[in-house]
Amino acid sequence: MKSADEQLSVILRGVTDVVTKEDLAAKLKTGRQLIIKLGIDPTASDIHLGHTVTLNKLRQFQELGHKVVLIIGDYTAMVGDPSGRTSGRPPLTRDEIMGNVASYKQQVSKILKPDNLDIVFNGAWFEKLTFAETLKLVSKFTLAQMLEHDTFDRRHRDGAPLSLLEMMYPVMQGYDSVMIKADIEIGGTDQRFNVIAGRFLQRESGMEAQAGLFTPILLGLDGKNKMSKSLGNYIALNDKPEDMFGKVMSIPDNLMRNYFELLTQVDMAEIDSFETSMKDGKMNPRDVKMRLAFEIVKKYVNEAGASYGREYFEKSFGANKAIPYDAHVYSWTFAGDETTIGELLKAVNAAASNSDARRMVEQGGFYMNDAKVADFKRPVKKDEMPFTFKAGKKIFGTFR
């Protein structure tokens, strides 16, 4: 096993905050195998690249010889993490949650090694808690403590609804740390309060407090918002290689360093050289982005997939492009004789809402049969099928 200092140099890449660095260093200096915790709530069927920032950090710990415990939050998912939200999440049913679990395991296996890995469900302990034990657990927290949570404090001050159920979430996440005796918990910067809740509960239980490592939030394809399926600005881990490559090529240039650092294993010195060369005009940002897209697809698919994605992109969007519409065929069932452009764009994940779709059309980004459509209100009639379409720079195909 590497020395504590050598491990720190690996672990701290892409980490924005540590609680506390002294605690982390002390744990590494013991020379023992540490228990590294990450909790994932199966609230959707897809894992996207935003989720992999913490998963990649787990893989680094595995490579250093430590044990990773991935907690599938089958019970916390019934509450939903309120961090950063202005309103409560719609609760999921048990069937919806378990339907997502199998997909999560398959996708996680693309990043984490099977050795030094335990995958557990927090229902294993929550379903056994009696009501008396639950009351004892929540009695350890005060309202003042809960209002230190930025989201809770903001909603309380704004007079927005804030339920007792949502306040249970950090308590439950903290209890997870007690049950697996976590040494280190990893999370995005939005998880700081929840990780500190785990430190508090571990101390209350007579245990040594875990250290917390926080990674930055990965911005999505729009360059403005957190990568999110609900916003439609995400790259799914199960995307086809050509789709993954094309989506990476669509990100704003100012996100490239962030993506290189958090999603690839490219050496930091080389990343620095890319930035310098682009500023000096020695490298075209498009070429750097091509390298980024190749590295990401190679990491999450394989090298052959990355080569195919690059060839597909160059064929579709190069100087002599010939868009392969037939490579993506979509079926559409009309409820009547026509439908709206908005519904079609949402169906192919080109827009998350009607307002997004309207914006795309009004900015000249939607084509039918190679003809630009400028009127968002234009109906799409049943007798126009089949037709080819192009939405923005990366989504195209044929509706039949």
| CATH fold for domain 4-215 | Rossmann fold (3.40.50)
Q: What tens digit of pLDDT does each residue of 150-172 get?
A: 888 888 888 888 888 888 889 99
Are 326 and 398 spatial neighbours (Cβ–Cβ below 8 Å)? yes
pLDDT above 60: residue 339? yes
User: Helices marked H in 181-240 — which ranges?
Assistant: 192-204
Mean pLDDT over residues 71-97, rounded? 69
More confident residue, 53 or 383: 53
The enclosing H or E element of 387 equals strand 387-391
The enclosing H or E element of 278 equals helix 268-279
pLDDT of residue 352: 86
Instruction: Give the residue from 60, 73, 76 showing the smallest Cα distance to 113.
Output: 60
The domain locations on the chain are 4-215, 241-312, 326-399
- Which of these CATH numbers, 3.10.290.10, 3.30.930.10, 3.30.1740.10, 3.40.50.1970, describes 326-399? 3.10.290.10
Query: Architecture of 241-312 per CATH?
Result: Orthogonal Bundle (1.10)
Can you tell me the distance from the alpha carbon of 310 to that of 303, in angstroms, rounded to the nearest whole number? 11
Can you tell me the distance from the alpha carbon of 394 to that of 37, in angstroms, rounded to the nearest whole number? 36
Q: What tens digit of pLDDT does each residue of 215-266 get?
A: 988 998 888 888 887 777 889 888 899 999 989 988 888 899 999 999 998 9
Mean pLDDT over residues 362-386, rounded? 85
Half-sphere exposure (Cβ direction) of 396: Cα atoms closer than 13 Å: 22
Burial class (CB in 10 A: 0-12, 13-18, 19+), 289: buried
Half-sphere exposure (Cβ direction) of 56: Cα atoms closer than 13 Å: 27
